[in-house]
Amino acid sequence: MHNKVGDYMGNSTQLLKGIMEGVILKIISIEETYGYNIYQKLMDYGFTDFSEGSLYPLLLRLERNNYINAIKRQSPLGPDRKYYSLTPDGAQLLKEFSDEWEKLSCNMKKLWEV
């Protein structure tokens, strides 16, 4: 099915799709953290439109592709909890994302200031 013109505009869920990997890598790069804490941080930083149910599959993708590393530690609630940290590959991907984002946001600013 083709997207109609304007489907991606004014729809932050669609806009967010491409950048959420970078956002999650950035959150994990700040400090070692666990799944539910990432959910809360996303909300705290205002990513409220990020589609519910999308975070865990994304974490799984990053982990399976060796961008993040998980260490299990005891949790007060029961099962061992995974704490995520960046791998060297993840740090490299985050740097590339950051450079691309800076370039894009700079171009957008320039255009909007015209």
Partner 1 sequence: MQQNLEGKYREVYISIGLYIHNSSIDDGLQNEILNDILDLFLQAQESNEEIDFITGADYKTFCDNVIAESMKKNSSHLKIVKFFKNILWFISYYITIKTLMVVGLYFIGSNKTLTLNINTLDLLILAGSIPSIYIVPFIASKKAFKPKKLLSIIVFSILSMILLIALLGIIAILSGPSFDMPLFAIPFYLPILLSWLIYILINRYYKNQCLKGA
| Residue ranges that bind partner 1, judged by CB under 8 A | 34-36, 39, 51-58, 60-61, 64, 75, 77-82
Q: How far is the CB of 40 from partner 1 (least distance, A)?
A: 8
**Which residue lies nearer to partner 1 by CB, 10 or 76?**
76
DSSP output for 14-47: HHHHTTHHHHHHHHHHHS-EEHHHHHHHHHHTT-
Q: How far is the CB of 61 from partner 1 (least distance, A)?
A: 5
Please give the backbone phi and psi of residue 73, each rounded to the nearest 5 degrees, phi first: -135, 160
Q: How far is the CB of 17 from partner 1 (least distance, A)?
A: 13
